[in-house]
Structure 1
Amino acid sequence: MVKEIIEPRGIPKPMGPYSQAVVTTGGKLVFISGQVPEDALGNLVGKGDIEAQTRQVLKNLKIMVEESGGMVADIVKITIFMVEITASSYEVVGRLRKELFGGGYPASTMVEVNRLASPDWLIEIEAWAVV
């Protein structure tokens, strides 16, 4: 898969670790359902702790893309759902995304929602990858 990051002039630079657009050629498209802050046994990780929950969600995303035959760099789009976006939670999620992706960031949308499927979940992330 060939991936090209698009950051055109004439629009604002990204506010965080994401790309305005990603163009790919070749490969298979993989749609990864929203990953939640639960471990392999279905146990909640980090009740009330956005950093612990985000780490688990990103770990689950990594597992999913690898099981699909790809790697983290193959993720081209993420959608982040959070029950509360504050300056602090935005910083935490951004920092952990930088750790995971290390540059060449996927296109990204972050939205605040009233709640997720479990009242204990603070974050859920879905992804698209090209492997």
Structure 2
Amino acid sequence: MTGQRMLVSNGNPMEKTVGFSRAVRVGSFIAVGGTAPVDQDGNTVGVGDVFAQTVQCFEIIKAALEQAGSGLEDIVRTRVILTDIDNWKEAIEARKAYCLDARPVDTIMAVSRFVNPEWLVEIEVDAVVAGSGSSQE
């Protein structure tokens, strides 16, 4: 896959309208964009619950990484973006279940709001596929 560009979609209709992908893989590098806590129909999961929303974000990220031929073990950076920095402990507690083995670097930050006011968190990750690039999950 070296040098090839692979676009990963999760079927969000806004991908073509706005011009984005859930993830992009180039060679062994995968970037997963800001992932919101939504279900397949675009509804917010865990309204008012940052832990549940963080779990949903990581489930979407996990699926995107697997679609790109990777897995959670390849994550090298996470960015946890919150609307209330005081929720960082709940978000990190949820993140831990997905990142404890990989132990990526992490950034936690707050923004004033997201496009959907029900969202309390968005997550971004970068991954680098080691070896052959196949997932060990």
Q: TM-score range by the shorter chain?
A: 0.7 to 0.9
Which ranges of structure 1 fall in alignment gaps of 5 or more residues? Answer: 1-26
Letter in 1 for 2:98: L
> For 2:101 and 2:125, how far apart are their aligned partners in 1?
17
Question: CA separation in 1, counterparts of 2:56 and 2:76?
Answer: 20
TM, length-normalised to structure 1: 0.74
CA–CA distance in 2 between the matches of 1:97 and 1:129? 15
Aligned residue for 2:65? 65
Deviates more, 1:59-68 or 1:90-99: 90-99
- The ranges of structure 1 where at least 4 consecutive aligned residues each deviate by more than 4 angstroms after the TM superposition are none
Task: Indicate yes or no: 2:120 matched with 1:122.
Answer: yes
Aligned pairs, how many? 103
- The percentage of aligned residue pairs carrying the same residue is 35
Aligned to 2:82: 82
> Partner letter of residue 103 of structure 1?
D
Written as runs of structure 1 = structure 2, the 5 A alignment for 1:9-20 is none
When the two chains are superposed, the root-mean-square deviation of aligned CA atoms in Å is 1.2
Partners of 1:49 and 1:71 lie apart in 2 by 26
- Unmatched tracts of structure 2, length 5 or more: 1-26, 130-137
Counterpart amino acid of residue 99 in structure 1: A
Classify the secondary structure of the residue corresponding to 2:59: helix
Quote how far apart the aligned CAs of 1:127 are. 1.0
